């Protein structure tokens, strides 16, 4: 049974993970020639700089209320100016991929710690790293869904012809409503949950 303590644990890990996710975007952009995120003070772990009303408050609470099988969210997107990137098209694809890669790094680190923890470690320590692994698997999979403004859409946009890309990117203004609709209807569950179970089993339980 999920307790209030478990939910609190998950929310804290979710918030920490989405912050690292956004900082990774900012550092990727900086390495590719765009200092916008650094100039905006977003290359920091200060949570106040990354709070997003929808992604860090409304969506997680909505998922808790509907008893969704997983918890996801996002921080305020870091500003990126594609025209400052040395190769805007390729650069935006790499910047978009940097966030999920940060989550994958947290997944692998958590799984490694779980496999090396002594059996005498307190149970809450095992729970902490299991939650970190589980939440970051969900975040990586969720953000790779090709619905603007999720990161998967940045990769897809980079391979589309210009006219199709403009129309596709234009969906971003409706993105939050599309995402909530897909979550509410359970359509994302059909993709994310089976993949999550396979990955979590392989890394943690196998």
The catalytic residues are 22
Tokens 């994302």, located at residue: 188
- Chain centroid, CA 35 distance in Å: 22
Burial of 142 (0-12, 13-18, 19+ CB in 10 A): buried
Contact residues for 37 (Cβ-Cβ < 8 A; gap 6+): 25, 26, 27, 29, 30, 43, 78, 79, 80
Tokens for 62, please give them.
């909505």
Tokens 């969720």, located at residue: 142
CA–CA gap between residue 52 and residue 58 (Å, rounded): 9
Contact residues for 140 (Cβ-Cβ < 8 A; gap 6+): 100, 103, 104, 107
């Amino acid at each position: 049974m999920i307790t209030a303590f478990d939910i609190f644990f998950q929310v804290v890990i979710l918030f920490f993970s989405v912050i690292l996710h956004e900082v990774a975007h900012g550092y990727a952009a900086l390495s590719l020639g765009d200092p916008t995120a650094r100039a905006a003070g977003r290359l920091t772990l200060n949570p106040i700089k990354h709070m997003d009303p929808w992604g860090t408050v409304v969506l997680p609470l909505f998922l808790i209320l509907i008893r969704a099988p997983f918890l996801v969210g996002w921080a305020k997107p870091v500003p990126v100016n594609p025209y400052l990137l040395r190769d805007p098209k390729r650069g935006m694809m790499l910047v978009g991929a940097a966030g999920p890669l940060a989550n994958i790094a947290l997944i692998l680190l958590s799984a490694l710690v779980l496999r090396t923890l002594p059996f005498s470690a307190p149970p809450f320590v095992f729970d902490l790293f299991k939650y970190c692994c589980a939440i970051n698997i969900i975040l990586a999979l969720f953000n790779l869904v090709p619905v603007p403004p999720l990161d998967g859409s940045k990769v897809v946009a980079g391979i589309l012809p210009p006219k199709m890309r403009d129309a596709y990117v234009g969906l971003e203004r409706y993105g939050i409503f599309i995402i909530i609709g897909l979550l509410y209807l359970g359509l994302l569950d059909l993709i994310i949950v089976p993949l999550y179970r396979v990955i979590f089993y392989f890394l943690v339980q196998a």
